[in-house]
Structure 1
Amino acid sequence: MSQWLFDLGNTRLKAAPLRADGTVGEVVALDHRRDGLEAAVAAMLPGRFDVAHVASVAGEALRVELLQVLSRHCQRIAIARTPRRWKGLKIGYPDPSHLGVDRFLAMLAVVGPGAGPALVCGIGTALTIDLVDGQGVHRGGRIAPSPTLMREAMHERVPHLPGSGGVYQEFADDTPDALASGCEGAAVALIERSLLLAPGVADTRPRLYLHGGGAESLLRHLPDARLAPSLVLDGLARWAAA
């Protein structure tokens, strides 16, 4: 049986085959804002397959569009949602439906016997930070604009400020570098503060995971972090196996 995993965000669609051993195959990521979902899916997929496992944090219209496209390629579609408990992970929100499924799946990917506490940071359209203790209990998190979204929002409000470009410097000497430094630095500072305070909640210093399209750009500032760019798909694979 051929199965595929799909992670639909506000900017990109990521997809990968689910291997027979339950692991994630080669990941393909496309900007659906530029290419459109029909073209993105056609570029990723074989003509027909059996099952699509879908995680989506995009708006309802985009999610429905993806499901319509997938229905022309596969026999069955399974949509992941955030439960209160799942395979060793307990969500800390009083109403689990308020927690994005991408955050749930990223945490699911890192919990397990002997795994210890983890701080899971997603850098996509938004910056999300979630703390899981050594017993697999989600202890809460944060949401903020990602560096990319900060730049885009500033450019929209103040058009003469460039929406991209620049190089990170601790004390920049021109505007593009100052913008890159400020936006990246704000994200790094929020992660570092969360990492600093986490032992008071989870008893010990957690492992730090970075995932999402913007993770690699922050890695140089966080040398102890583990880069896991496809963590949501890894969690979706575990969800699909169950």
Structure 2
Amino acid sequence: MLLAIDAGNTNIVFALIDGDEIVERWRIATDPKRTADEYAVWLNQLLILGGRDRSVVEAVIIATVVPRALHNLEVLASKYFGVDALIAGRDELPWGIGLLVDEPKTVGADRVINAIAAHASHAGDLIVIDFGTATTFDHVDAQGNYAGGIIAPGINLSLDALVAAAAKLPRIAIRAPDTNKVIGINTEDQMLIGVYWGYIAMIEGLVARMKKEIGRPVQVIGTGGLATLFEQHSPVFDAIESDLTIRGLIIMYQRRTG
């Protein structure tokens, strides 16, 4: 089986792949100081709980936007699974698509991999919105090239900044409001309305501007842990694909191994 690792700024997702099927997925908070031994103990316990042991892992592929976490993940692959990890975007595993931007090396691995996966499943021009620590809006052209995009603060980051800067505001959990009303009558409701509906307005506004600039029919694909939070109150999405990054890693691995 393939172990696909998507290391983001907030969480690292580990997915166990059998052929094209994601059979297990696990999530752990990103900590660049976490050692390969710590990863191994945690993963081994999860594998055992699923009725497997680590010998089922025959290959490892990693995508990361956290360079400091990469070394320990590579050690995890070599020390505990006996394989050299494939690193998305390196010479042995090139992207295979065009990066039509001024500085291709600065594009996050997750954004390129999302482009690969989205183009494999959808025809024509695409906008991929990934809701993570940051929210990214990426244009994938009809040929599958990464054609640029937008980086905005993630909704939890926006909420944290609001609470940190205003001493009397309480900390609240982000969720969809109970009603469509946008005039709140208490502080918590007003905060939730401002952050949630303000974020919906940003999403819809930026997508409208991107579509106008692209000038051709465009499908909008949402991904990331919070994508479903916005799907229920906005018609902007054509599809929600929570496993888009992992799907992209599977495609890259399959291209490499034939």
- Per the normalisation by structure 2, the TM-score is 0.80
Residue 178 of structure 1 deviates from its aligned partner by: 2.2
Shift of 1:127: 0.6
Q: Who is 1:106 aligned against?
A: 114
What is the aligned counterpart of 1:135 among 129, 143, 148? Answer: 143
Gaps of 5+ in 1: none
Residue 7 of structure 1 aligns to a residue whose secondary structure is strand
Task: Write the mapping of 1:34-45 to structure 2, written as runs, cut at 5 A.
Answer: 38=39, 40-45=42-47
Structure number with greater Rg is 2
How far apart are the structure 2 equivalents of 1:82 and 1:183? 38
Greater mean alpha carbon deviation, residues 95-104 or residues 114-123: 114-123
Unpaired runs of 5+ residues, structure 2, are 48-52
Please list every run of at least 4 consecutive aligned residues from structure 1 whose deviation after the TM superposition is greater than 6 angstroms.
none
Quick check: 1:215–1:227 contact (8 Å CA) kept in 2? yes
Distance in 1 between residues matched to 2:30 and 2:145, nearest whole Å: 34
Of 219, 222, 227, the match for 2:231: 219
Structure 2 residue aligned with 1:12: 11
CA gap 1:199/1:124 in 2 versus in 1, 3 angstroms:
closer
After superposition, residues 172-187 of structure 1 pair within 5 angstroms as 172-187=184-199
Provide the secondary structure at the position in 2 that maps to 1:110.
Answer: helix
Q: CA RMSD in A?
A: 2.6
Confirm or deny that 1:241 pairs with 2:254. Answer: yes
Deviations 1:105-140 (A, max 9, x none): 011101149711111001111111101222323332
Cα distance in 2, alignment partners of residues 135 and 12 from structure 1: 31
SS, match of residue 93 in structure 1: coil
Partner of 1:30: 28
Distance in 2 separating the partners of 1:3 and 1:42: 15
Report the counterpart of residue 65 of structure 1 in structure 2. 72
The TM-score with structure 1 as length reference comes to 0.84
Question: Which shifted more, 69-78 or 9-18?
Answer: 69-78
- Superposed, 1:71-150 pairs within 5 Å as 71-74=78-81, 75-81=83-89, 86-87=95-96, 89-112=97-120, 115-150=123-158
- Residues 55-87 of structure 1 deviation map (CA, whole Å, 9 limit, x = unaligned): 1112x332323333333322221111289x844
Q: Percent identity?
A: 23
CA contact (8 A) 1:90 1:138 kept: yes
CA deviation after TM superposition for structure 1 residue 224, in Å: 4.4
Give the number of equivalent residue pairs.
235
The amino acid across from 2:43 in the alignment is: V
Q: CA deviation at 1:229?
A: 1.1
Give the Cα separation in 2 of the matches to 1:149 and 1:103.
19
Amino acid at match of 2:24: E
